C-alpha cells in the first residue's frame, strides 16, 4: 500500500515508512519502563487509554457542529464525517477554529478526563495540568501536516512537557495518520538549533521540513505510523519530529493534541488562562516571517 505524505508517495513497509510503532500497554503500570521507553523511542503509544465511548461522545459533539454548518454530505451518516463534494476546504478550516470548538464540553471531558490526567500524574510523579488552550484538528481531504518539533511553538515553560495526540474516531491509513520520525529525539544538531527556536520571538515558519524522504536520507530517521482506533493515544516530547500523512479519503479527519506537565513547574504563558493569547507575532500578518530555507542555512542543518 502507498500513502501520500507531503507530496510524496511512500510505500508502507519501505525504508521510508513503517507501521512498527511500539505499543506500551504491556508496561502501563511500570512507570520506570514507561520513562525509559519515552527516552529511547521519543513516544509512547497506548491503545484505548481514553476509552472508546468517551472519544465517540466527543466526536459526536464536534460532528453535530460541523453538520450544522452545512459541511457534510447530505443524507450521509453524520458520524462518518463525509465532506460535501463541493465544500470549500479553506472555509471549513477557518470556520472550525480551535477557539470555538475547544469550548465543547465533550472535548474538554475527554482531554481533561481521568484516564489521561491520571496517566500523566503517574508518569511525571505529581499533580499535573494541561494547557487551557486545546488544539483540535479538522483535517479535510487532501491535507496533511508538515514536519516539526512542538518545542518551537510552546517552549517558554518547563522542558518536561508532553503532547498527547488522540484520534477522534477510527483512522485508517487512507484517512491519514500521525507519523513519528523514529530517532528524531536524538537529532542533537537539530535539537540545539531549530529545537531551541521560538516562532513568536524569532518569526520563523515553525516547520522544519516538508520532505519526509529528506529526513530519512539526510538525518537517518525512519517514519512510523499505524492505524488508530477511537480511544487510542500517542504521547511524545517536545523534540520528537512528527507530522501527518495526507487524508486521501472523502471524510474529515478529527484529532486533538493537548499538552501536559507537572503543575509545579513553569508554564508557557501563551496557552493558559480563560482567554489564552496564543501566538501573538507568529500569526500576525504584518510581521515578516523568515523563509524556512534561510532558517536552515542559518542553523547549519
The secondary structure of 57-107, three-state, reads HHHHHHHHHHHHCCCECCCCCHHHCEECCCCCHHHHHHHCCHHHHCCCHHH
State the pLDDT at residue 297: 97
CB-based contacts of 183: which residues, under 8 Å, 6+ apart?
42, 220, 221, 222
Sheet containing 222-224: give its strands across.
17-18, 222-224, 178-182, 242-244, 145-148
Question: What is the pLDDT averaged over residues 189-204?
Answer: 97
For residues 124 and 160, the answer to whether their CB atoms sit within 8 Å is yes
State the pLDDT at residue 87: 78
CA distance 240 to 181: 7
State the pLDDT at residue 274: 86
Query: Poorest-confidence range of 101-105, 160-164, 293-297?
Result: 101-105
Query: Poorest-confidence range of 87-91, 153-157, 249-253?
Result: 87-91
Check pLDDT > 80 for residue 289: yes
CA distance 25 to 257: 20
Sign of the torsion angle spanned by Cα atoms 208, 211, 213, 217: negative
State the pLDDT at residue 89: 73
State the pLDDT at residue 102: 59
Encode pLDDT of 80-122 as tens digits.
Answer: 999 998 877 777 776 666 655 556 888 899 999 999 999 999 9
Encode pLDDT of 28-80 as tens digits.
Answer: 999 999 999 999 999 999 999 999 999 999 999 999 988 988 899 999 999 99
As beta bridge partners, residue 153 has none
Encode pLDDT of 209-236 as tens digits.
Answer: 999 999 999 999 899 999 999 999 999 9
Question: What is the pLDDT averaged over residues 255-270?
Answer: 97
Mean residue pLDDT of the chain comes to 93
State the pLDDT at residue 105: 85
> 3-class SS at 192?
helix
State the pLDDT at residue 95: 66
Question: What is the pLDDT averaged over residues 270-295?
Answer: 90
Check pLDDT > 70 for residue 255: yes
- Of the chain, the percentage scoring pLDDT greater than 90 comes to 81
- The number of helices, as runs of H, and strands, as runs of E, in the chain is 10, 13
CA distance 183 to 294: 25
Confidence of residue 285 (pLDDT cuts 50, 70, 90): confident
For residues 185 and 42, the answer to whether their CB atoms sit within 8 Å is yes
The CATH fold assigned to 2-198+210-279 is: Jelly Rolls (2.60.120)
Sign of the torsion angle spanned by Cα atoms 196, 199, 204, 210: positive
Q: What pTM value is reported for the model?
A: 0.95
State the pLDDT at residue 210: 94
Check pLDDT > 80 for residue 271: yes
Quick one: which of 151, 162, 127 has its CA closest to 34?
A: 162
Amino acid at each position: 500500500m502507498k500513502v501520500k505524505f507531503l507530496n510524496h508517495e511512500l510505500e508502507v513497509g519501505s525504508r521510508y515508512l513503517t507501521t512498527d510503532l511500539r505499543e506500551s500497554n504491556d508496561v502501563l503500570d511500570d512507570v520506570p519502563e514507561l520513562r525509559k521507553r519515552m527516552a529511547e523511542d521519543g513516544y509512547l503509544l497506548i491503545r484505548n487509554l481514553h476509552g472508546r465511548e468517551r472519544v465517540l461522545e466527543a466526536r459526536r459533539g464536534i460532528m453535530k457542529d460541523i453538520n450544522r454548518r452545512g459541511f457534510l454530505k447530505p443524507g450521509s451518516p453524520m458520524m462518518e464525517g463525509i465532506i460535501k463534494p463541493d465544500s470549500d476546504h479553506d472555509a471549513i478550516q477557518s470556520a472550525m477554529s480551535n477557539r470555538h470548538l475547544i469550548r465543547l464540553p465533550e472535548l474538554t471531558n475527554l482531554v481533561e478526563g481521568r484516564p489521561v490526567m491520571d496517566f500523566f500524574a503517574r508518569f511525571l510523579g505529581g499533580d499535573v495540568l494541561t494547557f487551557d488552550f486545546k488544539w483540535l484538528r479538522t483535517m479535510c481531504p487532501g491535507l496533511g501536516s508538515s514536519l516539526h518539533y512542538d518545542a518551537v511553538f510552546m517552549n517558554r515553560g518547563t522542558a518536561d512537557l508532553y503532547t498527547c495526540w488522540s484520534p477522534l474516531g477510527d483512522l485508517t491509513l487512507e484517512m491519514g495518520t500521525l507519523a513519528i520520525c523514529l530517532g528524531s529525539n536524538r537529532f542533537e544538531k537539530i535539537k540545539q538549533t531549530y529545537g531551541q527556536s521560538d516562532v513568536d520571538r524569532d518569526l520563523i515558519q515553525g516547520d522544519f521540513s516538508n520532505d519526509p524522504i529528506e529526513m530519512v536520507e539526510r538525518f537517518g530517521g525512519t517514519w512510523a505510523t499505524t492505524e488508530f482506533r477511537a480511544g487510542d493515544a500517542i504521547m511524545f516530547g517536545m523534540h520528537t519530529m512528527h507530522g501527518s500523512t495526507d487524508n486521501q479519503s472523502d471524510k474529515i479527519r478529527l484529532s486533538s493534541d493537548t499538552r501536559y506537565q507537572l503543575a509545579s513547574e513553569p508554564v508557557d504563558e501563551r496557552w493558559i488562562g480563560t482567554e489564552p493569547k496564543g501566538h501573538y507575532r507568529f500569526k500576525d500578518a504584518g510581521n515578516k516571517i523568515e523563509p524556512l530555507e534561510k532558517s536552515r542555512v542559518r542553523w547549519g542543518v
